[in-house]
C-alpha cells in the first residue's frame, strides 16, 4: 500500500518544515482582544458597557475596603479617624480586629491560668499568684478585672493560640481523623483514631473528668463484644439480644419499675471513678459555645452522623419488607415536609413539655440531633437517586454471584450509587453547614447572633457591613473547601462511562 | 393500645415533673451556685457583651443584683440568651430562674401565661423618629407617611391604633429586626421609624448625623418593662421584687455603692435605712436571705440611679433622660413600698 503510494506521487517531502511565526495581527493580546471582546460592533459595545460596570463597582468597593481603619476603639472613633484623613468612605475593620475571637469562639472561656503563667507572670505575681486570682477563695469580680487587664495586654493572637487551645486542638484532631476517610492513600490504621475521635473531641470541648467519654466508649465496645462472643455460641439472634441487654444495663435502667440503684451502670461507675481519680479539664457548659465554632460543631456532627443514617434510610426505603419500608418512607417524608426552623423550635420549645423540668437535656445536643435527622432525610433521597440510577443488571449480577443482601450492597451497589451521588451529597452538606446559622432563632449564639450582640455594645452600635462581610468570608472559605474536595473526589473516582 | 401506653408515659412524666419541681427556686439557685437569668441576645444599653464576653447593661445589672442578693456574688450569673419567641416558654419550662429581658407587663402575660411580673425596672413607651428635614414637630402631622415597623410586636398594633384614632393614613414598611429598621430608615425607605423610645434613642445615638434626626414628643403606648418569674413560687418572686425595689429605695434615701458600707457599719439616724441595711430589724431573714443582703447588692451594682446613669443615662451613648423613670419625689413613677 505504502509502496504504491510512493510510486504514484511525484514528490514527497521527508523532512518536517520548521514552525513559522503566525502572520502579524493573529497573535498576542491584541488578537485576543479583537477575537474575543471586539469582534463586532455590538460585541464591542457590550464589552465597553461591562467594563464601565465593573469599574464603577470596584470604584465603590475597593477604596472603602482598602482604606479601612483597623485600629480604633469604637465606631465614632473610626469616623473621627476617617474625617481626619479626609476620606469619604472607609470600612471600620477595627470591630473585626477587636472581636474576631468572639465571632469565632463565642463566649467559650479561655484558659486564663495558662495565659497568665505564659504571658503575664509579672502581673500574676503582682496580683498575689495563681491561687490568689484563680483559686476557689478568690472573688470572681477581682478575677474578671484581672483577666480583662491581662487580655488587653497580651493581644488577640496569643489568646487565640493558647487561650483557646482546647477547641483548636479538637479542630486539628478533626482534620487528622477525617484525613484517612477522605484520602485513601493514608494508612488504614488511622481509621481507629477516626473512630475514637468523637470521644476525644467531646472531652476536649466540654471538659469534665476524662471518665465520661472513656466509659461511654468502653460501654459501646463492651456491648458489641458481648454480642460478638455470644453470637457464635447461641446463634445470631440471641447474640444481638445479649448485646442490647448489655447496652441497656450500661446506659439505661432496663427495669424502670425496680429501682436497685445499680442500673444504669455508667453513671454509678463514673461517680466512683470521678471520686477516686478526678483527672480531667475544667468543665464548660454548652451555653458558652458560640460563634463559628458552634457552626463547625453542629455542621460536622450533622454531616458525619447523617451520612450513615441517610444511607440506611435509602436502603430501607427500597426494602421489600413493608414495615421497614413504610417506617423509612414516613420518616423521610415527615422530616422533609417540614422546614428546619420548625424542627429547631420543636427541639428548643416542645421537647421541654415532654421532659420533666429537672431533666438537663442539653440544648446543643437537641439541636445536633434535629439537624442530623433533618439532613439524613435529604441524604436518603439523594442516595436513593444514586441507587435508582444503577442499571438493574448490577443488582442481578450481585445476586448471581451468591452474595447476601449486605454484601451485595456493600461490595457492588453502594460504591457505585454513592459515587454517582457525590455532588448531590456534598451539596446537601454545604446547605446543612450554612443552615446552622438558623440556630440564632432559638437563642444559640451563632456568628450572626453574635453580630447582634456586638452591635448592642455602645462602641459598635450601628456597624453592619464589616461584621457581615467577615462572617460571610468565613463561611465561604469552608463551603469552598467542601465543593473543591467533592470535585477532587469525582475526578479520582471517574473510572467509568466518560 | 399504643395510645394508652403513650398517654400513660406522659402522665408518669408529668408526675415526675411535679415531684421534681417541689424544690423551690431559691433552693435550686443556691444549690447550683449560679443564677440562670434569661436575657436579651444584645440590646444597646440593656444587655451587651464586652470583648472578653463579660455582660453589662441595665437589665444585666438587675440580674447581677439578684445574684448578689441570693448568692453573694454579682458574677454568679449565667446569661441565657432568649429571643422574643422563646423567652416565656423558657421561663415556664424552668430553663431560667428569672427573666429580665425588656418584657412588657401585660394582662394576658401575667395571667394566661402563668407568669408573675415583679415590678417595673423601666417605663418605656412607643415613639416616632423622623428626619428634621421633614419639618414635622408632632406625630399628629404624620398623615400619609411611610413607617418602618417591626413585625409581630405590640408596636405594630399600637401604631395602627394611633393612626386610626387620629384619622390619619400611613404606609407600613415591615422590618424584621431593629438593625434592619435602622438601615431602612437611614436609606430613606421610610419617613418615620417607630419602636420603643429607648430603642429609638439608642439608634439615634449611632447615627453619623444624629442632630438631623428628632424623636417626636408623642408617646403612643405604655410599655412597663420588668423582671418576670414563674407563677406560684412566691418567696422567689418576693426576693426579685424586693431586690429591685431595694435598689429604687436606695436611690431615694441616698444610699450609693460608695457610702453603703459606711452606712451599714453602724445604725444611722434614719430607721428606714437601718432596716434596709440590716442594722435594725430582721428583714432579710423574712425572705430567706441574710440581713445584710441589700448591703452586698448595692455595694456590687450601685443603686437604681447609679445603674441608670452607668448604662443608659445622659452621659452614655444611649443618652436617655430619666423622664418617667425618676423617683416619685422628682416627678417620676418610681415608688418603692416602705421597708418595714
Can you give the pLDDT at residue B18? Answer: 41
Determine the structural domain holding residue B107 and report its residue range: 25-123+225-330
User: What average pLDDT does this structure show over A197-211?
Assistant: 90
Lowest mean pLDDT among A52-61, A229-238, A404-413, B269-278: A229-238
Interface contact flag, A452 B75, Cβ < 8 Å: no
Q: Sign (positive/negative) of CA torsion B288, B292, B296, B297?
A: positive
**CA B161 to the chain's CA centroid:** 25
* Cβ contact B52:A151 at 8 Å: yes
| Shortest alpha-carbon distance between residue B169 and chain A (Å) | 30
Q: Which of B52, B102, B114, B300 to mutate to test the interface with A (most CBs of A within 10 A)?
A: B52
Residue B271 burial (C-beta neighbours within 10 Å; 0-12, 13-18, 19+): middle
Residue B193 in any domain: the answer is yes
Band of pLDDT at residue A257, cut at 50, 70 and 90: low
A256 pLDDT more than 50:
yes
Interface of B with A in 46-85 (CB under 8 A): 46-54, 57, 73-76, 78, 80-83, 85
For the domain that residue B317 is a member of, what is the CATH number? Answer: 3.40.190.10
Q: Do residue B180 and residue B230 come from a single domain?
A: no
CB within 8 Å: A98 and B51? yes
Measure the CA angle with vertex B294, ends B293 and B300; round to 5°: 100
- The span from the first CA to the last CA of chain B, in angstroms, equals 60
> CA of B38: which chain A residue's CA is closest?
A443
How open is the CA angle B219-B222-B227, to the nearest 5 degrees?
135
Least confident of A32-36, A274-278, B167-171, B335-339: A274-278
Question: Which of A439, A416, A406, A418 lies closest to A307 in space, CA to CA?
Answer: A418
How many C-alpha atoms does B77 have within 13 Å on its Cβ side?
Answer: 28
The stretch B34-54 carries a mean pLDDT of: 88
What is chain A's mean pLDDT, rounded? Answer: 86
**Contacts with A151 from chain B: Cβ below 8 Å:** 51-52
| Cα dihedral: A410, A416, A418, A424 (round 10) | -170
Residue B78 within a domain: yes
Q: How far apart are CA A56 and CA B107, in angstroms?
A: 56
Q: Which of B335, B79, B81 is nearest to A452 (CA)?
A: B81
Chain B residues 12-51 within an 8 A CB cutoff of chain A: 13, 16-17, 20-21, 40-51
**Cross-chain Cβ contact B41/A441 below 8 Å:** no
| Residue A295 binned pLDDT confidence (cut-offs 50, 70, 90) | very high
Of B164, B196, B221, the residue at which a domain comes to its end is B221
Please check whether residues B103 and B45 belong to one and the same domain. Answer: yes
What is the C-alpha separation between A85 and A131, in angstroms, rounded?
Answer: 48
Decide which of B161, B196, B221 is a domain's last residue.
B221
Burial of B269 (C-beta count, 10 Å sphere; 0-12/13-18/19+): exposed
pLDDT band at A490 (very low <50, low <70, confident <90, very high): confident
Q: Would you call B89 an interface residue with chain A, using a CB distance cutoff of 8 Å?
A: yes
Query: Does the beta-carbon distance from A141 to B10 stay under 8 Å?
Result: no
CB-nearest to A358 from B20, B48, B206 is B20
pLDDT of residue A61 exceeding 80, the answer is yes
Stretch B6-21: mean pLDDT, rounded? 42
Cα B149 from Cα A121, distance rounded (Å): 53
- Amino acid A377: pLDDT: 94
Nearest by Cα to B200 from B191, B192, B188, B209:
B192
User: Could you tell me which chain A residue has the CA closest to the CA of B54?
Assistant: A144
* Of residues A435, A410, A427, the one with CA closest to residue A490: A427
Q: Assess if residue B337 is contained within a domain.
A: no
Question: What local confidence, expressed as pLDDT, does residue B94 receive?
Answer: 85
Task: Using a CB–CB cutoff of 8 Å, tell me whether B150 touches chain A.
Answer: no
Residues B190 and B256 in one domain: no
Residue-wise pLDDT tens digits, A441-478: 887 888 988 998 898 888 888 888 899 999 999 999 98
Comparing CA positions, the residue from A285, A283, A289 lying closest to residue A443 is A289
Q: Taking CA atoms, what residue in B is nearest to A459?
A: B317
**Does residue B133 sit in the same domain as residue B107?**
no
The answer, yes or no, to whether residue A387 has pLDDT greater than 50, is: yes
Alpha carbon of A261: minimum distance to chain B alpha carbons (Å) = 17
**Same domain assignment for residues B29 and B78:** yes
* Region A232-261 average pLDDT: 74
Which one is the CATH code of A291-498: 3.40.50.11600, 3.40.50.1370, 2.40.160.60, 1.10.3720.10?
A: 1.10.3720.10
CA–CA gap between residue B229 and residue B243 (Å, rounded): 13
Confidence at residue B1, expressed as pLDDT on a 0 to 100 scale? 35
Close Cβ partners of A220 (under 8 Å, ≥ 6 residues apart): A247
CB contact under 8 A, B52 and A139: no
| Cα–Cα nearest to A467, from A107, A105, A104, A93 | A93
Query: What's the pLDDT band for B299 if we cut at 50, 70, 90?
Result: very high
Q: Find chain A residues with C-beta within 8 A of B54's C-beta.
A: 144, 148
DSSP state of B35: E
User: What residues of chain B, 163 to 182, have a C-beta less than 8 Å from chain A?
Assistant: 177, 179, 182
**Cα-flanking dihedrals φ and ψ of residue A68, to 5°?**
-50, 150
Burial of B86 per CB tally in 10 Å (0-12, 13-18, 19+): buried
In terms of domains, do B40 and B115 share one?
A: yes
Backbone angles phi, psi at B60, to 5 degrees: -60, -40
Whole-number pLDDT of residue A126: 84
- Put simply, whether A355 touches B (Cβ < 8 Å) is yes
A286 has a chain B CB within 8 A of its CB = no
Partners of B175 in the beta sheet?
Answer: B150
- State whether B217 and B293 are in the same domain: no
Digit-coded pLDDT (tens) for A340-369: 999 988 888 777 666 665 566 788 888 998
Nearest-CB residue to B89 (from A352, A441, A445): A352
A257: contact with B, CB 8 A cutoff: no
Strand partners, A250: none
How far apart are alpha carbons A449 and B90 in whole angstroms?
A: 18
Phi and psi based region of residue A321 (left: phi greater than 0; alpha: psi -120 to 50; beta: remaining): beta
Give how many domains chain B has, as a whole number. 2
Closest-CA distance, A143 to chain B, in angstroms, reads 10
Strand partners, B128: B194
Q: Tell me whether A144 touches chain B (CB under 8 Å).
A: yes
Answer whether residue B303 is part of any domain: yes
* This prediction's pTM: 0.83
Q: How confident is the model at residue B225 (pLDDT cuts 50, 70, 90)?
A: very high
Q: Helix, strand, or coil here: A235? A: coil
Are A357 and B20 a contacting pair at CB < 8 A?
yes
With a cut of 70, say whether residue B11 has pLDDT above it: no
| Residue that is last in its domain, among B166, B197, B221 | B221
Partners of A449 on chain B (C-beta within 8 Å) are 41-42, 81
**Residue B334: its pLDDT value, please?**
95
Q: Is residue B335 part of a domain?
A: no
- A453 vs B: CB within 8 A: yes
- Residues B130 and B116 reside in one and the same domain: no
Q: Are residues B171 and B242 in the same domain?
A: no
Helix, strand, or coil (residue B152): coil
Reported as a single tens digit per residue, the pLDDT across A100-149 is: 999 999 999 998 888 888 888 888 888 888 888 888 777 888 888 888 88
Residues of B in contact with A140 (CB under 8 A): 73-76
Residue in A102, A285, A352 nearest the CB of B51: A102
Domain assignment of residue B10, yes or no: no
Q: How many CB atoms lie within 10 A of CB A203?
A: 20
For residue B7, the model assigns a pLDDT of 40
Q: Is there a contact between B245 and B337 (Cβ–Cβ < 8 Å)?
A: yes
pLDDT of residue A24: 77
Examine the domain organization and report whether B86 and B233 are in the same domain. Answer: yes
Query: Which runs of consecutive H residues, i.e. helices, occur in A287-362?
Result: 291-317, 322-337, 340-345, 351-354
- What is the rounded distance in angstroms from the CA atom of residue A432 to the CA atom of residue A372? 9
pLDDT at B290: 92
Find the distance separating the first CA and the last CA of chain A, reported in whole Å: 36
Q: What is the reported pLDDT for A263?
A: 66
Can you tell me the distance from the alpha carbon of B92 to that of B95, in angstroms, rounded to the nearest whole number?
8
Instruction: Identify the residue among A112, A452, A456 best suited for mutation to test binding to B, counting B beta carbons within 10 A and taking the highest.
Output: A456
Question: Inter-chain contact B54–A441, Cβ cutoff 8 Å?
Answer: no
pLDDT confidence of residue B9: 42
From the list A353, A442, A461, the residue facing B86 with the nearest CB is A442
Which chain A residues are Cβ-neighbours of B202 within 8 angstroms? Answer: 461
Chosen for mutation from B21, B36, B55, B81 (greatest number of chain A CBs closer than 10 Å) is: B81
| Structure confidence at residue A496 (pLDDT) | 61
What is the DSSP secondary structure assignment for residue B270, as one 8-state letter?
Answer: -
* Residues B300 and B151 occupy one common structural domain: no
Shared domain check, B181 and B86: no
**Contacts with A98 from chain B: Cβ below 8 Å:** 51
pLDDT for A281 beyond 80: yes
Contact B121, B227 (CB under 8 A): yes
Domain boundaries of chain A, sorted by first residue = 28-66, 111-163, 291-498
B115-117 sheet: strands from edge to edge: B77-81, B35-39, B98-99, B228-230, B115-117
CB contact (8 A) between residue A148 and residue B54: yes
A258 has pLDDT over 90: no
Share of chain B above pLDDT 90, in %: 61
Chain A residue with CA closest to B53: the answer is: A107
> Residue B93 — pLDDT band, cuts 50, 70, 90?
confident
| Residue pair B218/B152 in contact by the 8 Å Cβ criterion | no
Backbone angles phi, psi at B314, to 5 degrees: -70, -20
For residue B6, being part of any structural domain is answered with: no
Amino acid at each position: 500500500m505504502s509502496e504504491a503510494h510512493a510510486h504514484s506521487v511525484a514528490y514527497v517531502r521527508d523532512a518536517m518544515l520548521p514552525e513559522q511565526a503566525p502572520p502579524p495581527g493573529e497573535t498576542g493580546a491584541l488578537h485576543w482582544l479583537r477575537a474575543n471582546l471586539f469582534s463586532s460592533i455590538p460585541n464591542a459595545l457590550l464589552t465597553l458597557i461591562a467594563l464601565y460596570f465593573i469599574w464603577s463597582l470596584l470604584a465603590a468597593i475597593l477604596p472603602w475596603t482598602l482604606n479601612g481603619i483597623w485600629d480604633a476603639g469604637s465606631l465614632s472613633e473610626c469616623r473621627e479617624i476617617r474625617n481626619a484623613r479626609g476620606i469619604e468612605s472607609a470600612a471600620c475593620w477595627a470591630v473585626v480586629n477587636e472581636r474576631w475571637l468572639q465571632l469565632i469562639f463565642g463566649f467559650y472561656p479561655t484558659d486564663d491560668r495558662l495565659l497568665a503563667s505564659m504571658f503575664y507572670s509579672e502581673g500574676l505575681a503582682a496580683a498575689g499568684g495563681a491561687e490568689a486570682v484563680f483559686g476557689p477563695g478568690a472573688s470572681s469580680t477581682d478575677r474578671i478585672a484581672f483577666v480583662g487587664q491581662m487580655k488587653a495586654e497580651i493581644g488577640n493572637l496569643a489568646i487565640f493560640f493558647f487561650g483557646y487551645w482546647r477547641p483548636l486542638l479538637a479542630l486539628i484532631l478533626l482534620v487528622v481523623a477525617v484525613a484517612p476517610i477522605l484520602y485513601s492513600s493514608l494508612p488504614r490504621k488511622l481509621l481507629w483514631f477516626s473512630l475514637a475521635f468523637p470521644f476525644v473531641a467531646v472531652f476536649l470541648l466540654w471538659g469534665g473528668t476524662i471518665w465520661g467519654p472513656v466509659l461511654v466508649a468502653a460501654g459501646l465496645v463492651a456491648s458489641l463484644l458481648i454480642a460478638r462472643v455470644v453470637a457464635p455460641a447461641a446463634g445470631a439472634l440471641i447474640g444481638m439480644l445479649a448485646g442490647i441487654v448489655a447496652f441497656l444495663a450500661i446506659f439505661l435502667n432496663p427495669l424502670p419499675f425496680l429501682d436497685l440503684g445499680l442500673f444504669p451502670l455508667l453513671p454509678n461507675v463514673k461517680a466512683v471513678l470521678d471520686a477516686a481519680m478526678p483527672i480531667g479539664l475544667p468543665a464548660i457548659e454548652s451555653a458558652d459555645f458560640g460563634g463559628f465554632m458552634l457552626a463547625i460543631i453542629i455542621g460536622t456532627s450533622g454531616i458525619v452522623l447523617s451520612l450513615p443514617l441517610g444511607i440506611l434510610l435509602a436502603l430501607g426505603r427500597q426494602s421489600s419488607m413493608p414495615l421497614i419500608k413504610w417506617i423509612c418512607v414516613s420518616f423521610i417524608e415527615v422530616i422533609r415536609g417540614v422546614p428546619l426552623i420548625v424542627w429547631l423550635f420543636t427541639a428548643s420549645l416542645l421537647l421541654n413539655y415532654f421532659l420533666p423540668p429537672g431533666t438537663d437535656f442539653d440544648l446543643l445536643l437537641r439541636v445536633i440531633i434535629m439537624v442530623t435527622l433533618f439532613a439524613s432525610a435529604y441524604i436518603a433521597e439523594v442516595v436513593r437517586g444514586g441507587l435508582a440510577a444503577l442499571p438493574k443488571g448490577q443488582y442481578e449480577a450481585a445476586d448471581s454471584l451468591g452474595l447476601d443482601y449486605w454484601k451485595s450492597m456493600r461490595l457492588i451497589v453502594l460504591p457505585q450509587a454513592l459515587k454517582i451521588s457525590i455532588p448531590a451529597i456534598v451539596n446537601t452538606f454545604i446547605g446543612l453547614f450554612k443552615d446552622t446559622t438558623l440556630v440564632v432563632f432559638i437563642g444559640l449564639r451563632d456568628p450572626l447572633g453574635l453580630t447582634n450582640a456586638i452591635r448592642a455594645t455602645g462602641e459598635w452600635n450601628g456597624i453592619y457591613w464589616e461584621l457581615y462581610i467577615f462572617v460571610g468570608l468565613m463561611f465561604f472559605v469552608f463551603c469552598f473547601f467542601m465543593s473543591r474536595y467533592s470535585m477532587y473526589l469525582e475526578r479520582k473516582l471517574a473510572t467509568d462511562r466518560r | 393500645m399504643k395510645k394508652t401506653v403513650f398517654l400513660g408515659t406522659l402522665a408518669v412524666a408529668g408526675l415526675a415533673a411535679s415531684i421534681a419541681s417541689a424544690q423551690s427556686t431559691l433552693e435550686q439557685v443556691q444549690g447550683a451556685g449560679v443564677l440562670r437569668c434569661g436575657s436579651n441576645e444584645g440590646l444597646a444599653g440593656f444587655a451587651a457583651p464586652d470583648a472578653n464576653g463579660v455582660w453589662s447593661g441595665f437589665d444585666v445589672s438587675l440580674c447581677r443584683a439578684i445574684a448578689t442578693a441570693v448568692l453573694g456574688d454579682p458574677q454568679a450569673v449565667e446569661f441565657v440568651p432568649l429571643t422574643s419567641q422563646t423567652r416565656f416558654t423558657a421561663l415556664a419550662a424552668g430553663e431560667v430562674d428569672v427573666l429580665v429581658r425588656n418584657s412588657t407587663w401585660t394582662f394576658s402575660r401575667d395571667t394566661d401565661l402563668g407568669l408573675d411580673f415583679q415590678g417595673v425596672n423601666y417605663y418605656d413607651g412607643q415613639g416616632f423618629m423622623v428626619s428634621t428635614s421633614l419639618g414635622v414637630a408632632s406625630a399628629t402631622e404624620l398623615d400619609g407617611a411611610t413607617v418602618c415597623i417591626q413585625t409581630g410586636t405590640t408596636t405594630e398594633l399600637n401604631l395602627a391604633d394611633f393612626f386610626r384614632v387620629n384619622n390619619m393614613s400611613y404606609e407600613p414598611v415591615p422590618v424584621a429586626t431593629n438593625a434592619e429598621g435602622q438601615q431602612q430608615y437611614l436609606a430613606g425607605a421610610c419617613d418615620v421609624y417607630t419602636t420603643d423610645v429607648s430603642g429609638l434613642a439608642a439608634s439615634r445615638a449611632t447615627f453619623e448625623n444624629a442632630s438631623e434626626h428628632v424623636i417626636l414628643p408623642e408617646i403612643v403606648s405604655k410599655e412597663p418593662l420588668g423582671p418576670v418569674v414563674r407563677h406560684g413560687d412566691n418567696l422567689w418572686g418576693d426576693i426579685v421584687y424586693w431586690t429591685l425595689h431595694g435598689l429604687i429605695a436606695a436611690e431615694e434615701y441616698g444610699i450609693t455603692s460608695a457610702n453603703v458600707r459606711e452606712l451599714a457599719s453602724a445604725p444611722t439616724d434614719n430607721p428606714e435605712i437601718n432596716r434596709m441595711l440590716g442594722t435594725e430589724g430582721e428583714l432579710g431573714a423574712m425572705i430567706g436571705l441574710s440581713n445584710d443582703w441589700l448591703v452586698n447588692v448595692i455595694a456590687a451594682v450601685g443603686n437604681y440611679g447609679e445603674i441608670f446613669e452607668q448604662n443608659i443615662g445622659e452621659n452614655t451613648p444611649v443618652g436617655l433622660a430619666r423622664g418617667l423613670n425618676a423617683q416619685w419625689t422628682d416627678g417620676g413613677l418610681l415608688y418603692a413600698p416602705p421597708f418595714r
